[in-house]
Structure 1
Amino acid sequence: MSLSEISRETGLDRKTVRKYLSAPGPATPPRRSTNGRSLARVIDEFAPLIDSMLRAEILMKAAVIHERLAREYGFTGNYQRVKLYVQKARPRVAEELGITPRELAGMHRRFEVIPGAQAQVDWGDEGKILAHMGIPKVYSFHMVLSYSRDPFCCFTSSQDLQTFFDCHRRAFAHFGGAPMTIVYDRTKTVVRRHVAPGEAVPLHPEAAGFAGHYDFDIDVLAAYRPTGKGRVERQVLIVRDHVLSGRAFSSTDEMDAAFTAWVPHRRAQIHKTHREVIGERAARDHAALRPLPPTPYLVAERHLRPVGKDCLVAFGGNLYSVPARKVRPRQLIEIRATKSQVMLYSTAPDTSGETLLAMHPRAVGRGARVVEEKHWDGLPTGKGRRTTTGDIPLQPRQGRPRSEESGPLQALLNRAAASRIEVGRRPLSVYDELTGTRPFTTRSQSKDTS
């Protein structure tokens, strides 16, 4: 007989039939009443009491209910029976009380995925664990494969765009491939801006380019729904307890090494949810991942900046030069910056179709000027200017036609030369005696006006 025929004949579930057929040796059959139905369960006697507890607090946890039943009412059943009953009773009681699904926002639906289908990503703030080494803050990057719960973690001192996706590349190398979907919260390195519920989420262009290069989909959670990536949220706490707790480190490399040494112990454990060894389930997960492309994706910050009159462009508190013959003052150019390089592009291609203007190593700190001298070719250098102290008398140029010596410039030169000639000083009475005139006086003419 097949399992279905035995199930119909005995009134048992097919899984129960399979359990007893696969057991070695004779097994005690399940208890049944004379009419073939199952005997009353222990939990059924306490069902009205559980319903009353849920009516008093609809979000009461099943663990709390089980604890109160065992301590106050002599309940002898296990927690699993209570949890299964509460899962079915809570929506029914909520409907009786007129509570809408929105008021049950603290609850969530558990889900499972197939191998290689999904990974979840999150950041952890590890605080000042390396403050004694001059590193003010340390962050932990986490990626967890949803099917097997196989973890990856690395530690950084920054959460910028390049670091974020560099951690992705390290995670893909750790797992040996990329998943079909990665779940994120609304971090600014993935989402360009926040939108109202129900609207399409605009992705960061670098995040979209990175996902397209490694062939995975981006799944952005709704706001204030951390339970959507509960696997990685839990993993942050597990790594903090098992890898960092009670230890001292001198660098992020030492912290990464401590996680790498802990991974085999984690993979050897039986997970409490799927009840399998994590490493065995991870092998199926890794085999289903998508292969990595031969070349990595270069993630860069992109900004628009104006060109100054000195052919310098400001970025990150530093100045970078561009060719003077290819730009004009106040022209907007695009900056693509990685951790080690700054590339400057024109927004419109030139006659040859080229847009790259310059490429510089990224300056460390602030206040630096990164200049390539040939970018200033063609600009005045100031070396042709002439100056004089005025001590040497000006001499007319030899062989110059007289007609060219007259003019505004020559008049100024003549006036400058005449100002240096010493002139004799004499009183005005000398000129009065020579001309026979009376000297000019300012005596008051009061008699003429009286």
Structure 2
Amino acid sequence: MEIHALAARGWSVSAISRHTGRDRKTVRAYLAPERPARVPAPSCLEPYLAYIAARFEADRHLEATVLHRELVDAGFGRAYTTLVGELRRLQLRPVCLVCAHRRGDQVTTEIDHPAGEEIQWDWLELSAADTPWGEPADVLVGALSQSGRFRGVFCEQMTFGHLAGAMHEILVALGGTPRVWRTDRMATVVSPLTGRITSEAAALAKHYGVTVAVCPARRAQRKGVVEAAIKYLTRSWWRTAPIATIGDAQRSLDAWSTRVADTRKRPLGTVGEIGAGEPLRALPTLAYPAQIVVERKVSRAALASFEGNHYSVPPAHAGKPVTVIAQVSGPVLRIVGAHGEIVAEHRRVPAGAGQTVRSSEHAALLETAVLAAFTTKDACRRKPNLPPSDRALAELARLRGVEPEGARVISLADYATLAEAAAR
């Protein structure tokens, strides 16, 4: 309003600019006649807007890299940077109010990690509500500090046996072990009472010939490589993985780690190429013989579940609690009863195979038990005519407050008394 008023008095553009403190181009833009609004060019995401809206409605934190892979499979031919620019320009991603109130960034620094020097370990905890199979699960993630190459293994629990077995599988997938293992203060490695490394963890480190480095308390940034790997794994794979069982999840994670995670670009090559070039130490011939001990309840079919498979027990233990004991990478597992007796011993099948292992002896016992319980003698009839009994009718009449027919008994003496009275 002031610019237009000064221009009406005859002031020049330069004078108005000096007086208002605005640039001369700004003054000319205000004084120029109104121009038609600029019509933005159509977005390259127009054919995919409905799909993008549906994906963001289900998950507002969906990674743009995941969305780009899905759109490319659907025929989208533009680059990832174009997708990100259009998402920002069109404001397609919903705002998360929880993330908008996060605290400010903290000061950090980069730590130099020599090649083949260190691997970092941490757990990704998944509750029963987070898994499609409705049971909690834990994923041990091991990430090489220098290259960032990582692998993960699903475990039913976070016991020491599960930890030792998952560590061996990850090291085999990475092709060796670094000199230092860095962990946080997890209870299976550091005693909560003394703050020192447990004897089992020390024996495990001695078996692989490594040194265990424990992060200081409340210093998660010290193992930032594996923290970033877990964050990337959760957002890029877990949120969109089409899985139904824990075995499906492990197979999908292994394939995704090789196909997607290892192909991330770095200045010196891909993550997989850099990680494969790290000088790792050779692994022992056998894994550390840690014991995996889990409690199970036998099903009505006389089966105990373990690692996504089912193993038979005698039918006398159906519905009772048992303990499944197996060694890491061991070929045999034992099932122990409530009183410590060994009730079954089976050949161990690969985890997540979904197989049922039943010995011929247990099958015969189960068949005998089922046939013994099945009989046609005194079978319960399903279609007889059974009206209410006299006792039931009498009880119903009592409840209704009426006297049932035939319930009152009249004595013959009453009839004799009436007859005598009539005669008189």
Task: Please give the TM-score of this superposition, normalised by the length of structure 2.
Answer: 0.44
Q: Which has the larger radius of gyration?
A: 1
Q: So what's the TM-score if we normalise by structure 1? A: 0.42
